[in-house]
Structure 1
Amino acid sequence: MQIGKDVRRFARPLNMTCACVYGGSGVANQITELKRGVEIVVCTPGRMIDILVTSGGKITNMRRVTYLVLDEADRMFDMGFEPQIMRITSNIRPDRQTVMFSATFPRQVEVLAKRVLDNPVEIQVGGRSVVNKDIDQYVEIRPEEERFLRMLEILGEWYEKGKILIFVSSQEQCDNLFRDLLKVGYPCLSLHGGKDQSDRESTINDFKQDVCNLLVATSIAARGLDVKELVLVVNYDTPNHHEDYVHRVGRTGRAGNKGTAITFISQEDDKYAPDLVKALKESGVPIPADLQAMATVFGEKRKAGTAHAHGSGFGGTGFKFDTNEEESRRQQRRLTAREYGGGHEEEAAGSDGEGEDGAITRAAPPGFRGAGDITMAQPAADLPPEALAQIKAAQEKAKLLSQQAAAGMRPMMSMAPQMEPTSAVVAAAQAAASQIAQKAGMPASAIPNPGVQRAAMLASSWGLGMEDPDKPHFEARLDINDFPQHSRWKVTHKDSMAAINELTGAAVTTKGRYYKPGIQLPEGEQRLFLLIEGPTELSVKKAKDEIKRILEETTERVFRRDGPSTGRYSIM
């Protein structure tokens, strides 16, 4: 919208028309403008593709496009828009002229962008990923608990000088700071991706038109926002990569004007200190001694292997999901299991989560005890050494005979499963082991039952009860005990569980019992919760999100139904 507004100002004297095509608003008016005929279209890739494929491509096409401009081109290719950009450019005439703009352009993204260019010419204004010289930059080391008071000091000094933009790291932090500033008497606006498109548009317009001079925003406002008389930018939360810092600070000091940027950083955010040092050094600003010391200490931690650098914010190859990668993963798990002396690879692999309530963890699939797994039911410490030696010899003999019996049984099982060959051998082994156990004073339960042995052999030969040891298994827990009765009934109904299973591939099981809030739980009992199990972490996460959605919607309807009744009132 901002670009469209500026384009119309230049196009009006030339009798050229411009249309803005973007998501989050009504598509009917945009289609009407395109059908009426325009010379310039300012669009987002997703909505433009939607219009191009609507009605079989009869609304508009790209055959007469001669000039293509990509603003913030690095993020266009990095944030998942690359397939959409390639689809659009492939439908434009090959003799077009293409122009890309961005304040930052990492090398790895530049290689991808050059695929749509032919003999490109690069023009640098200032420097690559460098903060404007007209901006005064300050970095303060402030813990979380000191930042708000320092923010009030800054507002007391700058509030009357012009517009102020405060950046935070998350939507929740944005809403919290917005609320706290209102409580202390500072009128302000908030902007983040959780708001509707219309709310975002009205917020930006109010900020530009001096309705309110203070805006709290996430990094959604770091790119492209051009506001006159913006004199101060405050990074309340430290930017998580170098390019984000450059774009945030670049909202001030535009078009030859002076600006100021203040950044807060704490000891917990020391991994971002090298980026701040780099930005200050490249723009020729003196580096505070405490910030330089923090960056140096973090560099030493990296060399020692006790800390890891954060991502650049760009790119990433992701998983290939091919056989080589899967085999490499399995091999690594086998080596880890062998190194720690564990019997099962699943146990050595451990869990991917921390195991707390609600976290998605990786669980070992239950195995099936084989025919040769003979265990002692009586503690070994209670028996004399002579008895232990006799028991061990009997166990070895029984195990050997059982294995021989199982080996002879497998080929015959395929033809006649109902037969029980070599049962005499197994019985003889059991009898011999039982006699030795009785002499040693062991209970008869210490020797496996022949029926259990045969069942184990059958399961082993037919592949029953055995799960693939390399097959991953994820699970998560979601407490539902404190939700209203109707919400609990809705989410545990068989239709809801079947729909969740069909949608996500995860299985949901009801566990525990319902207890009223405040009641002491009996020993060994658990409150009502759902156990979500799935083959992948993504399936478990999707199922958990879907269950939360059902609970929230049902609870909202219950509160609305049970709330106070409303009516019409007339004012006399």
Structure 2
Amino acid sequence: MEDVLTKNRGHRDRGRGKEERGPEKDRRKRRSERVTRSDSEDRRRSDRERNKRSVSGEDEEEERDRRRAKEKERRHRERAKESDDDDLKRRRKELGEDDNGEKKENITREEDKRRRRLHEWQELKRRKQEAETERKMTDSESGGDGDEDDEVIDPLDAFMNSMVLPEVEKLSNSSSPPLGMNDGILDSKKSGDQPKKGFNKALGRIIQGEDSDSDYSEPNKDDDPSLEEDDEEFMKRVKKTKAEKLSLIDHSKIEYEPFRKNFYIQVKDISRMTEEEVNAYRKELELKFHGKDVPRPVKSWHQTGLTNRILDTMKKLNYEKPMPIQAQALPIIMSGRDCIGVAKTGSGKTLGFVLPMLRHIKDQPPVEAGEGPIGLVMAPTRELVQQINSDIKKFAKALGIRSVPVYGGSGVAQQISDLKRGTEIIVCTPGRMIDILCTNSGKITNLQRVTFLVMDEADRMFDMGFEPQITRVIQNIRPDRQTVLFSATFPRQIETLARKVLNKPVEMQAGGRSVVNKDITQLVEIRLESERYSRLVELVEEWYEKGKILVFVQSQEKCDALCNDLNIEGYRCQSLHGGKDQIYRESAISEFKSSVCNLLIATSVAARGLDVKELELVVNFEAPNHYEDYVHRVGRTGRAGRKGCAVTFISEDDAKYAPDLVTALELSEQPVPDDLKAIADGFKAKVKQGIEKAHGTGYGGCGFKFNEEEDEVKKAAKRAQAKEYGFEEEDKSDSEDENDVVRKVGGDILQHKLAKIQAEAMPEHYEAELEINDLPQNARWKVTQRETLGQISEWAGAAITTRGQFYTQGRIPLPGERKLYLFIEGPTETSVKAAKAELKRFLTDIITNQALSLRGGPQPGRYSVL
């Protein structure tokens, strides 16, 4: 049995061996085939490489043959050239020419110099032509074509005839063979004679045909003509401000069309009133006035003398009866009188001058394309311009009257287009209006038809430094115009200045001077800086569903930070300040008015002219820095008879603002908190002791003030007038003031002599002065920066310091004092002259760039939205 099993096992092993040996044979067969294929591929590859080597050898041999042929040809040309040069030298020698070619090199150098000069002239003119073409394209896109007379003479043709052709003729008449223009330019570039960047000569100073090696290299400081320029000529050239760019009009040479001013006829109901009844009615309206033959106030719209269309529109807008300022202002303005209106915020001042202006315009012939407006309204801020224009638009469509807002920060092309088509009313800021009047030589619009002039927020315009612009605009308006001034505040020093532009005005006040509306509940809370945010969140939670909330802060950074924090809290809000682009400012106001968001964080830029319905709460997160600003901030609520609330945060660190808050609460008959009264009294006591200094009213920075000399003249005039009327009482204080002036002048003279003696004892040096007091503010600021003065001092080798004191226009320096100027001193006359010339160039560039900059699109602000 065991043998059988062993035999069977052997058969199975042999069968398994056959099965395993079969695949092994297949693997060996495949391996041998792969080896055979690889050997054949190697043989084919080696054959191809041998073929390539044989072909490359033939190519190399052909390449060597070509190089030999080229070398032979080159040698042949060189031998021919040498023979030609020898022949040329022999001919020149026979003709008596100089072998060194020095004369030819001089002529070639002069030609290259002229070509470079001509090329730079062409480049300069080309840039000017491009700017002019761009301006014309902007004008054509924004409002049609200009006059055909302006295109008769092509500026490029005039330039070619006057500048380029004479130079070409000079080059063509040259004794040496002229090189091509392009060749000359290329040679000059290769030789490195291009003008260097930096302190180069002005192109306008290059004289045609001048032979000077310094024209296109590093300039010689002694040869600069600008060094010898007179300071008076320089000041005349750069001192021209924006207001001075608007040329004056000689009204005596213009024959103006007569127009009608008086549209008011007193109705019988008003005429039947006795003087006692009129005075009682004015007292009821809290009206005060100064002037002669002042019309009586009206009680209804039908008594004003307005047209039926205006009355129908007012009925649709639900204007029931005139407000106090309107009841007195409408009869005065409708009768053709100049007017000064002072009323609290939200009292209807805008409608008080808009309605008479519409009646005034409808009485005159319609405005055609190319003519100027009939009514001109000037305001200090863009937001106020937009608000006034919005109020005018409510009536303009029904009356067929057009109104165009003109202000900075927005596209000027659309404004120019609207003005060219003609408009009856322009609402503008003074600066942009002057830009429009100066653009295109005054062909966009003019002021010849203006017969009704309005200045809203006039005090703020004068205080913001707009007086020169306003004065220049008014000087270009016909003298027999009707002028109206309106504002919520009117400080005395501004009032005197404003009367210069009025003719026997009537001054009226409604509700007293600078008083908060009694419909506004004013609350003042003593809060530390760290406690204010949590309290603000509580107020927002309480008032957010009731209506709109406006929060005022002092700085732009605080405005954005507070807005971000409230957005994180879940309250949708917008921020508004002067650092934002105009498009974002308009968007923020639009969303706030349209209930997209009920919360707005703003600086004082929104304190004037912002009229928003349903504005229930105003929060002064940081106390305003003067009383008038507080009146305007709080006046954003409680408008047109509605109720409102205002909350102001203050701490002991803001004690200098406490007296203004106490005054505001007392004048508006609001309760004054005891802790606020204590802070105000403590600050007043410190002021009396000299520990603290009272802050200004906010209107003393730019307003006109008498200096001591002018004060003496005024007092002398008063004494002469008193003597004329028999009052010869002597003012002892005058003599004391005179003694003080004498002592001051004597001390200044002594100091001047001591300084002169010390200067004479010092080693010899050179010095010069450059007055910058009357230059534009931007130029003064940039030229007095430390970096600017340091760079110029290092370049010229002279020290430059800022001296003197800035005096506003019209102010005269006191004896011994100087206007703002730059003092230049150095060891050599050359260094001082060079520093002064570079300062002049720097100032000229700044003023020129500022004047030529085209503000056609939105102006970049301090912040941008990412």
- Shared fold per TM-score greater than 0.5: yes
- Shift of residue 26 of structure 1? 1.2
Kindly indicate whether residue 653 of structure 2 is the aligned counterpart of residue 262 of structure 1. no
Q: Deviations over 1:111-137 (max 9, x none)?
A: 111111111112222221000010000
Contact 1:162 1:230 (C-alpha < 8 Å) held by counterparts: yes
Kindly indicate whether residue 802 of structure 2 is the aligned counterpart of residue 535 of structure 1. yes
Which of 667, 676, 680 is matched with 1:282 structurally? 667
Q: Which runs of 5+ in 2 are unaligned?
A: 1-385, 710-739, 771-782, 805-819, 823-838, 843-866
Residue type at the aligned position of 2:498 = A
Which of 193, 196, 200 is matched with 2:585 structurally? 200
Change (3 A) 1:333 1:155: farther
- Cα distance in 1 for partners of 2:519, 2:639 equals 8
Matches within 5 A, 1:34-113: 34-113=419-498
Look up the match of 1:228: 613
Q: Deviations over 1:510-555 (max 9, x none)?
A: 9xxxxxxxxxxxxxxxxxxxxx974359999xx9xx9xxxxxxxxx
Matches within 5 A, 1:294-313: 294-313=679-698
Look up the match of 1:120: 505
- Cα distance in 1 for partners of 2:571, 2:785 equals 49
Change (3 A) 1:296 1:501: closer
- Cα distance in 2 for partners of 1:29, 1:246 equals 35
Look up the match of 1:216: 601
* Structure 1 counterpart SS, 2:506: coil
- Cα distance in 2 for partners of 1:130, 1:314 equals 17
- Cα distance in 1 for partners of 2:761, 2:676 equals 66
Which of 742, 760, 763 is matched with 1:463 structurally? 763
- Identity within the alignment, %: 59
- Cα distance in 2 for partners of 1:160, 1:539 equals 58
Matches within 5 A, 1:6-21: 6-21=391-406
Residue type at the aligned position of 1:206 = E
- Shift of residue 89 of structure 1? 0.9
- Cα distance in 1 for partners of 2:493, 2:784 equals 40
- Shift of residue 229 of structure 1? 0.3
Bigger relative contact order, structure 1 or 2, given CA contacts below 8 A and separation 6+?
2
Aligned residues: 377
Contact 1:109 1:315 (C-alpha < 8 Å) held by counterparts: no
Contact 2:489 2:628 (C-alpha < 8 Å) held by counterparts: yes
- Cα distance in 2 for partners of 1:333, 1:301 equals 37
Residue type at the aligned position of 2:499 = K
Change (3 A) 1:460 1:123: closer
Look up the match of 2:553: 168
- Cα distance in 1 for partners of 2:613, 2:681 equals 38
Q: Deviations over 1:397-416 (max 9, x none)?
A: xxxxxxxxxxxxxxxxxxxx
Change (3 A) 1:462 1:143: closer
* Structure 2 counterpart SS, 1:124: strand
- Shift of residue 181 of structure 1? 1.3
Residue type at the aligned position of 1:10 = F
Matches within 5 A, 1:85-484: 85-316=470-701, 331=747, 463-464=763-764
- Shift of residue 466 of structure 1? 10
Q: Deviations over 1:84-108 (max 9, x none)?
A: 1111111111111111111111111
Name which of structure 1's ranges 67-76 and 177-186 shifts more when overlaid on structure 2.
177-186
Change (3 A) 1:255 1:507: same
Residue type at the aligned position of 1:12 = K
- Cα distance in 1 for partners of 2:494, 2:655 equals 26
- Shift of residue 463 of structure 1? 3.1
Q: Deviations over 1:223-243 (max 9, x none)?
A: 010001000000000010000
Q: Deviations over 1:384-427 (max 9, x none)?
A: xxxxxxxxxxxxxxxxxxxxxxxxxxxxxxxxxxxxxxxxxxxx
Contact 1:51 1:60 (C-alpha < 8 Å) held by counterparts: yes
- Cα distance in 1 for partners of 2:705, 2:516 equals 31
Contact 1:506 1:535 (C-alpha < 8 Å) held by counterparts: no
- Cα distance in 1 for partners of 2:609, 2:461 equals 13
- Shift of residue 500 of structure 1? 9.7
Contact 2:618 2:634 (C-alpha < 8 Å) held by counterparts: yes
Change (3 A) 1:193 1:461: closer
- Cα distance in 1 for partners of 2:785, 2:565 equals 43
Q: Deviations over 1:460-491 (max 9, x none)?
A: 767337999xx9xxxxxxxxxxxxxxxxxxxx
Structure of greater Rg: 2
Residue type at the aligned position of 2:673 = P
Contact 1:500 1:506 (C-alpha < 8 Å) held by counterparts: no
- Cα distance in 2 for partners of 1:332, 1:169 equals 41
Contact 2:549 2:615 (C-alpha < 8 Å) held by counterparts: yes
- Cα distance in 1 for partners of 2:628, 2:514 equals 7
- Cα distance in 2 for partners of 1:330, 1:186 equals 66
Q: Deviations over 1:417-449 (max 9, x none)?
A: xxxxxxxxxxxxxxxxxxxxxxxxxxxxxxxxx
- Cα distance in 2 for partners of 1:330, 1:192 equals 50
Residue type at the aligned position of 1:67 = F
Q: Which runs of 5+ in 1 are unaligned?
A: 336-344, 347-369, 371-458, 472-498, 511-531, 547-572
Instruction: Looking at secondary structure, tell me which structure has more helix per residue.
Output: 2
- TM-score of the superposed pair, with normalisation by structure 1: 0.60
- TM-score of the superposed pair, with normalisation by structure 2: 0.40
Change (3 A) 1:45 1:500: closer
Contact 1:140 1:262 (C-alpha < 8 Å) held by counterparts: yes
- Cα distance in 2 for partners of 1:216, 1:72 equals 23
- Shift of residue 503 of structure 1? 9.2
- Cα distance in 2 for partners of 1:187, 1:54 equals 42
Contact 2:575 2:588 (C-alpha < 8 Å) held by counterparts: yes
- Cα distance in 1 for partners of 2:464, 2:747 equals 33
Contact 2:789 2:800 (C-alpha < 8 Å) held by counterparts: no
User: Alignment RMSD, CA only?
Assistant: 3.8
